[in-house]
Amino acid sequence: MRVAYYTALPHIKLSVAAAIYYTIPLFIILLSTLFTGDKVGLKSWFAIFLGFSGVLTIVRPNTEGFNAYVLLPLVAAIFYAVAMILTRTKCLHENAKVLSFSLNVTFIVIGLVASLVIFIWDPTESTIAVNPFLFGEWAQLDSREWSAMCVLAIIIVTGSVFAAVAYQNGPSSLVATFDYSYLAFSVLWGFLVFAEVPDLLTVIGMIMIVCAGLIAVREQKAV
């Protein structure tokens, strides 16, 4: 999930990645139907159609400037939805701190294993050039960057604990809607930090995705 999302960021705008990633509620509804027996009404199916239409509006696969990296946030969204469904169905009575600790330890272990594989593989310069984010050399960090990483680590751990608590105690489709605050902040930070301004079609696609999520949640609450 994290690898797919972060791999896309050097190649697409932060707001675009966030918009595609936040098809999460739609995938949660689909997966809930398959694995938990939740009912999906006509409005939910419309929301799913509208949400994916929004994704296509942002991605524009038939245009000349199509970037395949935009598909990676979609992969990340599917994995995130699976994780939240499992939290709701299989880990309902687990301690939220244990879930958060296990998740982040898993991230570390997978990262170490992947780093070892890349070190043994020793990719060529042409391979590194294709995706320096995944295959490039380790960057030298100064004290300011290490401090930023420590702060971010605390924020991520805290957020994962609260997310686990939320999905344990509330309907998955309802809690997922509050994740859309990330979308607003991603546009804000993308503009402030990277001077990224989404074009008109991207904004339209983002609005379609948000509307789809809200429609789907209202339908799920009514069922």
Dihedral sign for Cα atoms in the order 147, 153, 156, 162: negative
How many other C-beta atoms can be found within 10 angstroms of the C-beta atom of residue 1? 18
Q: Please give the pLDDT value at position 151.
A: 93
For 178, other C-beta atoms within 10 Å of its C-beta total 13
SS3 content of the chain, % helix, strand, coil (to 5): 80, 0, 20
What distance in Å separates the CA atoms of residue 133 and residue 8, rounded to the nearest whole number? 9
The pLDDT assigned to 150 comes to: 92
Three-state SS for 35-83 is: HCCCCCCHHHHHHHHHHHHHHHHHHCCCCCCCCHHHHHHHHHHHHHHHH
Indicate the number of domains in the chain: 1
Could you tell me the residue range of the domain that residue 6 belongs to? 2-222
40: left (phi over 0), alpha (psi -120 to 50) or beta: beta
What local confidence, expressed as pLDDT, does residue 15 receive?
A: 84
Whether 29 contacts 40, CB under 8 Å = yes
Residue 162, pLDDT score: 84
CA distances from residue 78 to 19, 55, 74, 147 in whole angstroms, order as listed: 14, 14, 6, 32
Rounded to whole angstroms, how far apart are CA atoms 17 and 196?
A: 12
- How crowded is residue 170: how many other Cβ atoms within 10 Å of its Cβ? 13
What is the predicted pLDDT for the residue at 132? 81
Supply the pLDDT for residue 172: 60
Q: Are 217 and 172 in contact (CB under 8 A)?
A: no
Hey, how many other C-beta atoms are within 10 angstroms of the C-beta on 214?
A: 14
From the first residue on, what is the mean pLDDT of each consecutive set of 10 residues in the chain (223 residues)? 84 86 81 75 83 85 72 90 81 77 84 88 84 80 90 85 77 65 80 87 87 74 56
User: How many other C-beta atoms can be found within 10 angstroms of the C-beta atom of residue 134?
Assistant: 15
What is the model's pLDDT at position 174? 66
pTM over 0.75: no
